[in-house]
Amino acid sequence: MNPLDLYKKLPRKNCGKCRFKTCMPFALSVIAGDAILADCPLLSEEERKMIEGSISLSDWREDLIRKLREEVSAIDFGEVAEGIGAELRDGSLFLTCMGREFTISSTGEIGTRGHMTPWIKILLLHYIRTAGKGELTGRWTSFGELKSGMVKASSFERDCEEPLRKLFDDDFDRVEKTLLRIGARRRSDFPTESAWYVHLLPMIPIVILYWPEEEDFPSKVKILLDSSADRFLDAESMIFLVEGLVRNIEMSH
């Protein structure tokens, strides 16, 4: 089933009650594996089950996941667990991503409570495959100062910092509650009263800085990373990781 076929089976009310606001983006995301039919509040259980039977999610991401699982299955978890901040139990890795615990088996199978998109699988398998080592430096840097970060700096600002700024502007309390729920802590040692420290992955903490709008100055968000971040993920994966945080906030109520 392609996105248009799925769209035709949806209520097509564009009710705005899901995070996609309208039905076509929702259909595209379901086919891509980034959303589930249960996210639509207007679909009955019977309608959902009928549609689910004809949806196939076998796209390039599933092929990439299979390839990454093969590579991860060749890794000695005992050698990489400590370096990436994971715990090894009965041959499987346990690690936390944005406040949520995931289990990765020796064959690369990933488990967690609740729904899991192909993107989070790819991200976690990349993190394990990279097998970074070393201590956090405690030196905060902008994304553009990381290895390969300069090339992707405009993408980071467009896809991560700018959407987060808009979320803060729209509902500051909701954003803060979501950050606190995934383990963020307020910081008072940065040049704004609104600063939070949070681990998105065990070895990738970030600091989020927000300046609200003032007379002649527009609101602003800046996200800082530990200078060691590029030892644990490449630039594109870090963009996706922070985009995942933004999506979590968008979906929170």
User: How many angstroms separate the Cα of 140 from the Cα of each of 18, 53, 127, 155, 227?
Assistant: 36, 48, 20, 19, 6
Say yes or no: 89 and 155 in one domain: no
Can you give the residue range of the structural domain that contains 244?
Answer: 140-251
Please state the domain count of the chain.
3
Say yes or no: 76 and 119 in one domain: yes
DSSP state of 80: H
Q: What is the DSSP string of 164-209?
A: HHHHHHH-HHHHHHHHHHTT-EE-SSSSSSEEEEEEEETTEEEEEE
Say yes or no: 109 and 65 in one domain: yes
CATH number of the domain residue 219 falls in: 3.30.310
DSSP, collapsed to helix, strand or coil, labels residue 222 as: strand
pLDDT score, position 35:
80
DSSP state of 142: E
pLDDT score, position 99:
92
Say yes or no: 48 and 65 in one domain: no
Any domain includes 94? yes
Picking from 98, 130, 162, the residue at the C-terminal end of a domain is 130
* Six-digit token string for 7: 């769209």
- pLDDT (tens digit, 9 = 90+) per residue, 61-114? 788 899 999 999 999 999 999 999 999 999 999 999 999 999 999 999 999 998
* CA–CA dist 252, 245 (Å, integer): 11
Say yes or no: 121 and 150 in one domain: no
Say yes or no: 146 and 69 in one domain: no
Residue 243: its H or E element: helix 235-251
Picking from 130, 164, 192, the residue at the C-terminal end of a domain is 130
Any domain includes 135? no
* CA–CA dist 114, 109 (Å, integer): 15
Report the interhelical angle of 235-251 vs 172-181 (nearest 10°): 120
CATH number of the domain residue 18 falls in: 1.10.15.40
* CA–CA dist 248, 44 (Å, integer): 25
Say yes or no: 159 and 217 in one domain: yes
- Find, among 202, 35, 216, 207, the residue nearest to 134 by Cα: 202
Say yes or no: 73 and 46 in one domain: no
Picking from 33, 52, 71, the residue at the C-terminal end of a domain is 52
Ranges of residues in the chain whose predicted pLDDT is under 70: 56-59, 253
Say yes or no: 227 and 164 in one domain: yes
pLDDT score, position 61:
77
pLDDT score, position 179:
97
